[in-house]
Amino acid sequence: MFNLSGGIYKLVRFKLWAKLKAGYIKGAAHEFLDINKAGGIEAKGLTLRRRAEAKLFLS
């Protein structure tokens, strides 16, 4: 299970779903990398987590 914050979840879910439906798996995995900010500032911990989630998604 992947933890996406509430408001961004709808946008990411749509983008992920659209790319998955189109067969663009790597593009869908890349969507995880866009969710790495807390309070509008990139958070190193979230960046690392999202990279790990994208890798897991592709495995």
For the whole prediction, is pTM greater than 0.85? Answer: no
Query: How is residue 21 written in tokens?
Result: 């439906």
Confirm whether 1 is domain-assigned. no
Percent pLDDT > 70 in the chain is 78
User: Could you report the per-residue pLDDT of 7-22, keeping only the tens digit for each?
Assistant: 556 656 678 788 888 9
Total domains in the chain come to: 1
Structural domain containing residue 15:
6-58
Confirm whether 54 is domain-assigned. yes
Q: How far apart are CA 57 and CA 49, in angstroms?
A: 12
Confirm whether 17 is domain-assigned. yes
Confirm whether 32 is domain-assigned. yes
CA Rg value for the chain? 11
